[in-house]
Structure 1
């Protein structure tokens, strides 16, 4: 065949089949792939660029309603004007407004925070500073704030406690910060270091010293400054005036006044104590039944602190985690004394490395399996050629993935495994066609290769573009799910294109080198008999629909049968035999227990509940250890970042981080273990009056809660009432668990009201009384001890003895000096009024809202069914329900359903649109190729047939239909169209050579059956290796059953439909 008769593919094959450049390019591709493996950061999950920012605005003394009106609402309006903002939340509580600005996924974090700062401070005039409103404090949060390593220091030595552990941890922090690539490093647990100046009110009055005088004396004595430079004898000497307080003795010996011409020392009116602050939180480590698996040899609960370490953006989590742990080990015996133990309670670097290593091994295994399949069907030479093409393509894919900016994570590596079945298609089609033409004999291989490649080149290019057209639209899925799954469409599309280039360049070169001297004479009869056998089979099957007298009837029956199968398959979902779920739970090595006690619960009572919960966890066989955090939050994960668990603080909140033995050493998965602990733990919580929720690591992008009801209206008290009604519906629904709401328990509150007229007559100001009461209850910092041996400043805190802090009557006996120099008791000018703590007011997107949340743990195990069950129970009420978007102006009482439903709806909506766009693009491509409006319909007819395999496959294996199942269906659209194009192209060429149409359609099925079945089998082999992954199980089932059924049907339906649509044209 001359160059003039060769197309693009044939010319490329001819140019590269016998040039020294081809092996060099292949070698370069291998080296680029190895480079990518070494330099690409490894992470367990894709790093989604999601940016949050919390804005804290203090308004001391203001009520929640006043904070809402004067701070939260104006601030929300300002923040909502920023470009790229997706949601604005606010929490208005007495004395504080907390706003959360959530930017759209993919917004550049630095640019977003700069816009936020500019907007806040350029509009700072809306803050009524004359009312005492503080300047806003902005704290950005993003994915890189999630610690990748947490080290828990604990001790069984009764002489050591959390305070000493915290000191050690602070010293360790400074050393770990020297590890390159680390970011935030902080310690959770342990009381802060403080110098307590516990005042004796009687002694103060006896020495005629007032609180204000005492504070001023302390501040004046603890001052120092560079006074200037002294020049003497041509020598400059710097002069420092005064020195700071550095020791407890210096503080105790301070002269704070004079009484009867004698100095009054601070120790005369107060007890000075240096050490741990009054606990505002507790932390401890407990050991589980499987503790020895982690090297823990003792049982019990021990005081602990946890050091959390985050990494810088773009750095390799595996390397940084290893470096941090190695650095810590070097500090043992130096900074970390004997008797202080350490347990690695989080190592996302290790889990990322384990996952990446396992998946890379699976990539190798799948490649070997595919090569072995080719070995059995075509021969060992062909197997080596196809294997080499796949390896080179994979290496180029790895390099392209690194260049695109992806990391090596479970999704990007699963994209490789998923792609192998697609990558091998081009090589198989090219090799098989060369193999077939070479067997015919008559021409040297060097002439056969360009001709054979040219024959399948057009349909192969078209098929490659069809696969890309099906996959690429998925890259534009919105929300958190889009970037999470984006490595699949992008990597698979790049791989498909690269595999085409390899098939046209490297494959012809290898065929020429390995098959030039191959003699087919011995196998020609066997090959001929095989071809005759396939022809006889398809002649009998397809002949029924094109040759028999009742062919027309059989074609209608085939159509009816296909329609019935499609309807039955769809019915499996309607009948809930196949459950729809966003993503199934993964098998992790951790889960979390979140505890909420009624507002106003003491820290000690909350700790008591946590002790009992821990005692039960210690009996769970798979638990190695657990960390308890009372009054504060544990180190956050991505789920905690989105749910803002890091803002949880107060005596009524707590959580437990539970670590499990590695999944290779347990029979139950983490979801089953978590579910089994829910009932006993919640029974314990109910006895204590607490709400205990089991929080598992979500399998994909996290949400506020699996089931969320957002209640809107015009009256907040009415919204709170409706929330109780909605919560009742939640409790009645089957399988709905972990129910909670944002309605707060009516905790007691005391208001110290000042009789201003009486106070004025007695010479006291309200500010003076307020400051005294605040100091008496919470203490007041009046400077810092300048101790060079500590990392954090040690405050000098004025306070009353702990026993007096708990008795308001003792505080009211505190005497203040009036303007005349006389002492007046606070109780003489105040009245104490008992009331209730105000409700916190929540806003979302400028509207007041009340949340009711829950999870699903029933038989269906999908929050969607729980949500629809609850919604149906509320149909008889006057509450208007919204499922897709919140009401713009909630004139009536209304509910917006959110949570997993919202992300599921958005994901499947966008994937459905991507599916439709892909089909339209495929249609346009096929129209352009075949210059017909009818033929593309024939080619695309097998696409809906994939559902005949997908849905029954899920039902047969008891699997949920998930987002990854949908990805499999979309990918199959391109894969199946590839097969159809090969069939139709062959039919067209045969008819053009004068072959009868009936003979052409039968011969197309028999000739193209082998490469079609081989490519389908290769994809199915790849899918089988994904089956054991909980997340991508749906993708594997969709590919396995969908391709199995659709491939078989394609070989029948496409030839029959082609005949039905074109028989009059050729008659």
Structure 2
């Protein structure tokens, strides 16, 4: 059986090798014999690549199809508890029956709620969206009539959910009301004409409003109720079509024109008659042409503004959209009234352009450094050009497939190309170096090009396919991470395959035609010639040292292997000191602060505290601009401040500035501060009793706050909002002709105000007409108790019976939750925290250890979430991809060498690449994260690249009759130079990425540093460990063959 397997393997290898060699040689032979044809093929790739590049959409990150559906709910004036019971719970029961639903999240605040339905990956989210809409439509008739229609939307986490541009409209002469009118009537309308613009959100608006401010005493003196006033205004302020009249051949429309032209005329509306005397609205109310009550305030550098956030439509080219909006802004400036100014506060499109530009510069710098390395080794500018041409051709040609696959030009596709710089030139280096070696044997250029490529062709194909074997699993990882890195994996795979094609076509073709001159190639540059000679002497010395050390290692095999294993094991002890996190924190020059004042604070109080913090922030020289928004998330006690910093070259790191801001703002009394956006620490506590949940989370917060590195710790369970509870005596109300709906409707109109009509102004705009009790009459519980309601019953004289609120209700001071959170039909309380000075993954592990030790009452449990859960999912996906990559690499190696055992000798060197990677991360203070994991994966392919070159030549030497030791020593000497060249090219190609100076450079730096460290260690250990393992396997094979021969001889005798 074993002999049959060997026969199959040898036959498979022979057939596959023959096919590979034939294909490789056919491509090379055609290119050498038909150089014009080969040139046209390359030019065609360049032309198509450049055309494809121009057609690529531009965005920061690739779009990710999120299997989520959002539901927005509005129930004006309702408490979070009422929204939970009347809207959320009925919806949860319906939505939970939809196929494929994984989680249902819900947050209820005063007057509104937000639900998020998360589907399992692979579920039909489009069908789920429609099914949810059907469920919502089915249950909507059961909602309270005051609740507005739910809005069901498909989620988008592709980055297009962020505004492309933030604008500010301000003036030193115009009022905020005038600016608001200008914004809605001109600015927003013109911005919407720019290609790609979706929605535009405004903040800080002060909208014009016709206010009917009812006077309580006047209503009481006339015996009138608010519903009488509302009905009278509605009936008076309307146009009524009456039909048409026909007179002979003429026809006329008849219309009753009752719409009020002047706001003052509202005061002349007759709302009732008493003793045949009309009672006018102006007798019981003040008619004011005013503004609606402020719910938000927006400022830029201390000046009140109207802020506008511009969002794109799905699939829009973000950079082109940004330029279109800027163009529209410039055109509008000439049309703005004197004193009005429209400015661009934050252009995310510019940030994207800058980040992509920095990545392109990184690619260019890596290409230049790689080319210099090639020149230093080959000492020929012709050889350097022949080799370096692979870089631009491979990069440009890759855009053909990027466009064909519907990808965009984003950080990950460009990062893939940046990562590939060292890889793309590897094949060309190995091919050209081998051609030069054959020229040194005295062959002519055509023969050297053909035979040099043929000799190394299979090894080059194997090294390239090893890289492909690594990155194909990356492209097909599961979950959101898999979608996120799909474009990355495909881009790297295509780029290295194109470089392989160029290495087998353009390189041998140019090598056969474009000869180096005879004699000293650097005679015109004597200094460079001396430098090159010195460099070459060092390389020769290295050859000599390596040869002696390899010979010694093949004798002291156990000692060397023990040393390599010790180095690997020692590197694992660095893991606790390196730390983990989901992704590196990026210094993008923008800081966001969230502020919370005590629950129940007025908008003006929160605004005053925000101004106090703005003043403190002005002392930071690194701050270029300060933008504030007060009253965010429909909460008067919440504010956000966005700081735009000066260029990173002119300031401290963003982390240092954040630390200083926490100290300064922490001195402002009455404010809770949180710095940054999404907090990495996220803990959820589930349980049935709200008060018990509050106690558990309070105790837990005290423990978590003691963990080093935890900052900005807060709970979703906020302090209770002061509430005035009105409890209706249903029996008394019924006896007096009232019910809850009547009472609630009247109170909402009197207290919150109600839009009862619209007024058409001379500018063609409709403005709300709102009835509301004057502010002075709705300040205390006593004021509300004195309100009179109109009953359905009448007095003896036929007039409506009027009932005071305190006759049918009691008013009690109480409190209610500011917000309620639910998950999977359960109440939950969540804790959030930022991390400062330590890796977030390390802190998360300590928090998890604390949770594991915490005992909870029956019915209560913790839930994982946030970056910790995402990091675990991502790392699990990467480990699965690494496992697949190792399997595929084995397939490639077994196919290349026609052996089931030889690949094991090569792959045994894979763990040693981790030694240098971990050391590099430790020395540079870089964490293990998504992007350093990509570096780890790439090291798998790079480690076997060098080993393949070494083992392939050793096998050839053995087949030529040399012993294993002689073959290994010769392979080490012959392959040392190309291995050093490819390693140096990779290191210097990665160097700009590892330094990470550009926009978003932190993510690239993690990848580059892990690769550089791993390449260095894997190269050193591969050159020593692989020959030793090869020798062990060869010795074992020789002994096994001898035993078989002995058995056969004994059997024969």
Verify same fold: TM over 0.5. yes
Residue of 898, 910, 914 corresponding to 1:947? 914
Q: Provide the residue aligned with 2:814 in structure 1.
A: 835
Q: Provide the residue aligned with 1:249 in structure 2.
A: 264
CA deviations on 1:860-900 (whole Å, 9 max, x unpaired) are: x22223233334445554239xxxxxxxxxx5432223222
CA deviations on 1:540-572 (whole Å, 9 max, x unpaired) are: 1121133xxxx2xx1111111111111110101
Q: Provide the residue aligned with 2:942 in structure 1.
A: 975
Residue of 744, 766, 769 corresponding to 2:718? 744
CA deviations on 1:223-280 (whole Å, 9 max, x unpaired) are: 3355445444445544444353343134333333334434433223321111211222
Aligned length in residues: 997
Take 1:317 and 1:104, find their aligned partners in 2: how far apart are those partners? Answer: 30
Q: Provide the residue aligned with 2:1013 in structure 1.
A: 1041
CA deviations on 1:884-943 (whole Å, 9 max, x unpaired) are: xxxxxxx54322232221111111111111111100111122122222222011111221
Q: Provide the residue aligned with 1:341 in structure 2.
A: 341
Take 2:311 and 2:454, find their aligned partners in 1: how far apart are those partners? Answer: 54
* 3-state SS of paired residue (1:394): helix
The alignment status of 1:272 with 2:287, answered yes or no, reads yes
CA contact (8 A) 2:72 2:152 kept: yes
Take 1:361 and 1:839, find their aligned partners in 2: how far apart are those partners? Answer: 50
CA drift of 1:37 comes to 3.2
* 3-state SS of paired residue (1:488): helix
Q: Provide the residue aligned with 1:7 in structure 2.
A: 22
The alignment status of 1:22 with 2:38, answered yes or no, reads yes
CA deviations on 1:325-382 (whole Å, 9 max, x unpaired) are: 2211221242x22323334221011111122222223322222222222122112111
Structure 1 residues 273, 110: closer, same or farther in 2, change over 3 A?
farther
Take 1:627 and 1:63, find their aligned partners in 2: how far apart are those partners? Answer: 31
Take 2:854 and 2:223, find their aligned partners in 1: how far apart are those partners? Answer: 68
Residue of 671, 674, 688 corresponding to 2:655? 671
Structure 1 residues 630, 963: closer, same or farther in 2, change over 3 A?
same
Residue of 520, 540, 563 corresponding to 2:548? 540
After TM superposition, list the pairs within 5 Å mapping 1:82-101 onto structure 2. Answer: 82-83=98-99, 85-92=101-108, 97-101=113-117
Take 1:812 and 1:716, find their aligned partners in 2: how far apart are those partners? Answer: 31
Residue of 128, 137, 140 corresponding to 2:151? 137
TM-score, normalised via structure 1 length: 0.88
Q: Provide the residue aligned with 2:834 in structure 1.
A: 855
Q: Provide the residue aligned with 2:1044 in structure 1.
A: none
* 3-state SS of paired residue (1:50): coil
* 3-state SS of paired residue (2:693): helix
CA drift of 1:6 comes to 5.4
Take 1:328 and 1:107, find their aligned partners in 2: how far apart are those partners? Answer: 43
Take 2:731 and 2:402, find their aligned partners in 1: how far apart are those partners? Answer: 75
CA contact (8 A) 1:423 1:499 kept: yes
Take 2:1038 and 2:1008, find their aligned partners in 1: how far apart are those partners? Answer: 42
CA contact (8 A) 2:243 2:254 kept: yes
Take 2:537 and 2:961, find their aligned partners in 1: how far apart are those partners? Answer: 24
CA drift of 1:93 comes to 5.5
CA contact (8 A) 2:203 2:296 kept: no
Structure 1 residues 649, 302: closer, same or farther in 2, change over 3 A?
same
TM-score, normalised via structure 2 length: 0.89
CA deviations on 1:746-766 (whole Å, 9 max, x unpaired) are: 332112223344444444444
After TM superposition, list the pairs within 5 Å mapping 1:426-825 onto structure 2. Answer: 426-442=427-443, 444-515=444-515, 536-546=544-554, 551=555, 554-574=556-576, 576=577, 578-632=578-632, 648-664=633-649, 666-684=650-668, 687-688=669-670, 690-696=671-677, 705-787=679-761, 789=763, 793-818=766-791, 819-820=793-794, 821=799, 822-825=801-804
The alignment status of 1:846 with 2:809, answered yes or no, reads no
The alignment status of 1:357 with 2:336, answered yes or no, reads no
The alignment status of 1:44 with 2:28, answered yes or no, reads no
Take 1:280 and 1:806, find their aligned partners in 2: how far apart are those partners? Answer: 18
The alignment status of 1:415 with 2:389, answered yes or no, reads no
Take 2:762 and 2:936, find their aligned partners in 1: how far apart are those partners? Answer: 65
CA drift of 1:711 comes to 0.8
* 3-state SS of paired residue (1:581): coil
Q: Which moved further from structure 2: 747-756 or 72-81?
A: 72-81
Q: Provide the residue aligned with 1:168 in structure 2.
A: 182
Q: Provide the residue aligned with 1:293 in structure 2.
A: none
Residue of 135, 139, 147 corresponding to 2:163? 147
CA contact (8 A) 2:420 2:492 kept: yes
Structure 1 residues 662, 341: closer, same or farther in 2, change over 3 A?
farther
Q: Provide the residue aligned with 2:384 in structure 1.
A: 383
Take 1:532 and 1:801, find their aligned partners in 2: how far apart are those partners? Answer: 95
* 3-state SS of paired residue (1:7): helix
CA drift of 1:310 comes to 1.1
Q: Provide the residue aligned with 2:212 in structure 1.
A: 197
CA contact (8 A) 1:463 1:978 kept: yes
CA drift of 1:458 comes to 1.2
* 3-state SS of paired residue (1:835): strand
Q: Provide the residue aligned with 1:310 in structure 2.
A: 311
Structure 1 residues 179, 111: closer, same or farther in 2, change over 3 A?
farther
* 3-state SS of paired residue (1:325): helix
Take 1:96 and 1:762, find their aligned partners in 2: how far apart are those partners? Answer: 33
CA contact (8 A) 1:42 1:356 kept: no
Structure 1 residues 667, 180: closer, same or farther in 2, change over 3 A?
same
CA deviations on 1:572-593 (whole Å, 9 max, x unpaired) are: 113x2x2222222111121111
* 3-state SS of paired residue (1:659): strand
Take 1:522 and 1:283, find their aligned partners in 2: how far apart are those partners? Answer: 67
Q: Provide the residue aligned with 2:1048 in structure 1.
A: none
The alignment status of 1:222 with 2:237, answered yes or no, reads yes
Take 2:165 and 2:967, find their aligned partners in 1: how far apart are those partners? Answer: 64
CA contact (8 A) 1:183 1:312 kept: yes
CA contact (8 A) 2:719 2:817 kept: no
CA deviations on 1:504-553 (whole Å, 9 max, x unpaired) are: 12222222221287679999x9999999866644431121133xxxx2xx
CA contact (8 A) 1:418 1:1023 kept: yes
Residue of 1025, 1034, 1046 corresponding to 1:1062? 1034
CA contact (8 A) 2:21 2:458 kept: no
CA contact (8 A) 1:534 1:1006 kept: no
Q: Provide the residue aligned with 2:1047 in structure 1.
A: none
Structure 1 residues 281, 790: closer, same or farther in 2, change over 3 A?
farther
CA drift of 1:597 comes to 2.7
CA contact (8 A) 2:445 2:513 kept: no
CA deviations on 1:303-331 (whole Å, 9 max, x unpaired) are: 11101111122222122112212211221
* 3-state SS of paired residue (1:949): helix
Q: Provide the residue aligned with 2:879 in structure 1.
A: 912
Q: Which moved further from structure 2: 499-508 or 79-88?
A: 79-88
Take 2:538 and 2:809, find their aligned partners in 1: how far apart are those partners? Answer: 104
Q: Provide the residue aligned with 2:846 in structure 1.
A: 869
Take 1:51 and 1:345, find their aligned partners in 2: how far apart are those partners? Answer: 33
* 3-state SS of paired residue (1:144): coil
CA contact (8 A) 1:481 1:907 kept: yes
Structure 1 residues 528, 868: closer, same or farther in 2, change over 3 A?
closer
Take 2:21 and 2:435, find their aligned partners in 1: how far apart are those partners? Answer: 15
Q: CA RMSD in A?
A: 3.0
CA contact (8 A) 1:878 1:893 kept: no
After TM superposition, list the pairs within 5 Å mapping 1:863-1012 onto structure 2. Answer: 863-874=840-851, 876-879=853-856, 892-1012=859-979
Q: Provide the residue aligned with 2:369 in structure 1.
A: 369
Q: Which moved further from structure 2: 976-985 or 208-217?
A: 208-217
CA drift of 1:47 comes to 3.6
Q: Provide the residue aligned with 2:15 in structure 1.
A: none
Gaps of 5+ in 1: 287-300, 633-647, 697-702, 881-890
CA deviations on 1:144-180 (whole Å, 9 max, x unpaired) are: 33211010122344xx333222222212000111111
Structure 1 residues 422, 749: closer, same or farther in 2, change over 3 A?
same
Q: Provide the residue aligned with 1:295 in structure 2.
A: none
CA contact (8 A) 2:226 2:750 kept: no
CA deviations on 1:809-830 (whole Å, 9 max, x unpaired) are: 2333233344222444333333
